[in-house]
Amino acid sequence: MRPLLTWLVVGSLLVVGLFAARDAITGGSRTVTKAAADTETAPPPPAQGPPALPGRERLVPRLEELGAGGALYLTDVRCQRFVLSLPSLRWAASGREPTDCGLWARPPVESDSGIAAKQVNADTIEVTSGGWSYAFQGSAPAFKPDGTLTFVRDGRLYEWTARCPAKARIIRFQELHDIPRCVEPIVRAPRGLREVAWLANDRYAAVAGPDGAMSVLVVGDGPERRLFTGVGTRVGALEASPAGRYLAARLDGAFALFRTASPGIRPLPRTDELVRGIAWSPDDRLAALVTESSVRVFPVARPQRSVELPLSVAAARWR
């Protein structure tokens, strides 16, 4: 009896051990499967065609009266880009935007020489061209019309210039042609700068000043001109029109338009919606105001004559 009892106990333990091993193996496989599923990247949403544009027959004559021409490059929140010809309101092309997009995304600034610059964190800028890239300390990257990259560091304005002193550290920018460049401060620039937008090669708009007392300045064409000073207001997101006559900015998130030749805020088309951005016609005569549910094309000098296109997009460019 005793040997039989011993074998029964041993057999019971073996059965319990086998079940425990099975549970451990199957439980582990479920965990691995779930972990693998969690790490899978969801495929991008399928591309869709351009949005519907109701009322086209009524809108085209009004755009013709404004003299609107060229094309609007519209990016939606799914990172799809559509090209809308003006004044015909015909969709010319579509595709996926290769850069950051969506609401509040600030895409890289680009130059005609083939390079782009992007703020990757609070203190670092990355400049890229094709497969080449270079990161350096700074903020608020911006390009002059001639393609020179500028930035702000510790409140001072600098540029990547090709006119380098003998002992300067040289970085070879791989643009359309490889160009040796070095960092040099821009002389006579005001201190305490936060952001710039170039109006011409020798003229720029800037946000300067401490928190709670920021100003919008125009520098470079005679005495420094102050367009706006906000007490307790945060100012940023400068965007200049192609010819440098106008400037857009956000004041505590609200959208504001300035004329660079004189102080004061200019009127915009009336809207109760949040403004997402603005695009300028190449001659500065017209602009397109992007809101939550429409794109409003208007003469900058007479914003009450706006033509409302029923399109919901995240950003627009005019070319």
Strand partners, 31: none
The predicted pLDDT at position 46 comes to 58
Mean pLDDT of 38-57: 70
The predicted pLDDT at position 95 comes to 64
The whole-chain average pLDDT of the chain stands at 83
Grade residue 32 by pLDDT with cuts at 50, 70 and 90: very low
Task: In whole angstroms, give the CA distance from residue 29 to residue 307.
Answer: 60
Please say if the pLDDT value at position 289 is more than 90.
yes
Which has the closest alpha carbon to 198: 119, 147, 144, 250? 144
3-state class (DSSP) for residue 189? coil
Is residue 240 within 8 A of residue 206, CB to CB? The reply is: no
The predicted pLDDT at position 113 comes to 66
For 173, the token pair is 């920018």
Strands 70-75 and 149-153: unpaired
The predicted pLDDT at position 78 comes to 83
Task: In whole angstroms, give the CA distance from residue 114 to residue 46.
Answer: 29
pLDDT, one tens digit per residue, over 214-252 is 999 999 977 899 999 988 889 999 999 999 999 999 998
Please say if the pLDDT value at position 1 is more than 50.
no
Which has the closest alpha carbon to 71: 88, 53, 59? 88
Grade residue 178 by pLDDT with cuts at 50, 70 and 90: confident
Please tell me what DSSP assigns to residue 305. G
Task: In whole angstroms, give the CA distance from residue 305 to residue 156.
Answer: 41
What are the phi and psi torsion angles at 199 (to 5°)? -95, -30
Phi/psi class of residue 34: alpha, beta or left (left: φ > 0; alpha: ψ in -120 to 50)?
alpha
Predicted TM-score (pTM) of this structure: 0.77
Neighbours of 79 (CB within 10 A): 19
Residue ranges covered by each domain of the chain: 54-97+272-319
Phi/psi class of residue 268: alpha, beta or left (left: φ > 0; alpha: ψ in -120 to 50)?
beta
Strand partners, 281: none
pLDDT: which is higher, 109 or 122: 122
Grade residue 115 by pLDDT with cuts at 50, 70 and 90: confident
The predicted pLDDT at position 223 comes to 84
- Of 37-46, 57-66, 140-149, give the lowest mean pLDDT range: 37-46
For 80, the token pair is 């799809």
* Residue 251: Cβ-neighbour burial (10 angstroms; 0-12, 13-18, 19+): middle
Which has the closest alpha carbon to 295: 102, 75, 67, 61? 75
Grade residue 157 by pLDDT with cuts at 50, 70 and 90: very high
Please say if the pLDDT value at position 193 is more than 60.
yes
Please say if the pLDDT value at position 299 is more than 60.
yes
Please say if the pLDDT value at position 126 is more than 80.
yes
Helix (H) or strand (E) holding 38: helix 2-39
Q: Cis peptide before 45, with omega less than 30 degrees from 0?
A: no
Task: In whole angstroms, give the CA distance from residue 167 to residue 175.
Answer: 23
Please tell me what DSSP assigns to residue 262. S
Mean pLDDT of 289-308: 95
The predicted pLDDT at position 177 comes to 67
Please say if the pLDDT value at position 262 is more than 90.
yes
What are the phi and psi torsion angles at 9 (to 5°)? -65, -45
Please tell me what DSSP assigns to residue 60. H
Most confident listed range (50-54, 227-231, 283-287): 283-287
Is residue 80 within 8 A of residue 97, CB to CB? The reply is: yes
Is residue 165 within 8 A of residue 139, CB to CB? The reply is: no
Give buried/exposed letters for 265-279 (b at 16+ CB in 10 A, else e): eeebbebeeebbbbb
Most confident listed range (10-19, 47-56, 218-227): 218-227
Q: Is the dihedral of CA 144, 185, 172, 99 positive or negative?
A: negative
The predicted pLDDT at position 15 comes to 43
